[in-house]
Amino acid sequence: MNEDQPFLIPLIKAGFRVSWVAKIPGVDVNVERHEAIARLMPYHTKAALKICGEERYFWRCEQVHGNLTVPVAGEVDPAQSLGADGLCSNDPKVVLGIHVADCGAIYIADPVKKAVAVVHSGRVGTEKNILGECIKVMTKTYGTDPKDLIVSLAPCIRPPAYEVDFAAEIASQALTAGVLTQNYHDCQSCTTLDDSCYSYRLEQGETGRMLALIAI
């Protein structure tokens, strides 16, 4: 669990609870995605509880490489399956999590309206501008002004390891959506070069997933 990552510091200074859960040593994740996540979930749930406490509700979504962000609040319904790539909330009892392994996890926080979001933006999601669409949802749902947002991009795959520089496009989309330059933070780390990260491409599809966590 890495709460002290530089790209998380602006969020922490603004009063938000965040964590980046990287590779878990000793866990065999050389399996398909759902089984890999199942093996990692005890550690990921522990990380969510560490930053938020037992009274919080840990929301995740079934990522489908789209651009849908779903507002959530309250207790998680175990029977509910959210086919989305983004979650947002202004509920102080909620912690949001998104899994990635080369795609970009984007943390989004509104310190004025006290709302948060996290999105999964890979090549396809970036092409569909999931970040911009998420900001629209936050504006409509919580009255967010994009100029107030703090946005941070976690480690993701980058050139030359990958032919598409979606990290650069995410930065451009943030500024186009109205995020101020000084409020956008990119860790600049490539998952194929960072030994603390799982990489779908490097490990040919059978690998684990990192977890991005954010809460008010």
Taking the domains of the chain in order of start, what are their residue ranges? Answer: 6-215
Note the pLDDT of residue 3: 63
Give mean pLDDT in consecutive 10-residue pieces for the chain, a chain of 216 residues.
Answer: 81 96 94 91 91 85 90 83 91 94 97 98 96 98 98 97 96 98 97 94 86 96
Question: Is CATH 3.80.10.10 what the domain over 6-215 is classified as, yes or no?
Answer: no
Query: Which residues fall within 8 angstroms of residue 42, CB to CB, at 6 or more apart?
Result: none
Position 191: which residue type?
T
| Three-state DSSP string of 91-102 | CCCEEEEEEECC
Note the pLDDT of residue 62: 80
Note the pLDDT of residue 189: 96
Note the pLDDT of residue 179: 98
| Three-state DSSP string of 108-130 | EEECCCCEEEEEEECHHHHHCCH
In terms of Cα–Cα distance, which of 61, 65, 100, 67 is closest to 82? 61
Calculate the alpha carbon distances from 198 to 15, 30, 73, 130 in Å.
Answer: 29, 11, 30, 22
- The DSSP call for residue 44 is H
pTM over 0.85: yes
Position 6: which residue type?
P
- The DSSP call for residue 140 is H
Note the pLDDT of residue 206: 83
> Residue 41: how many CB atoms within 10 A of its CB?
16
- The DSSP call for residue 55 is T
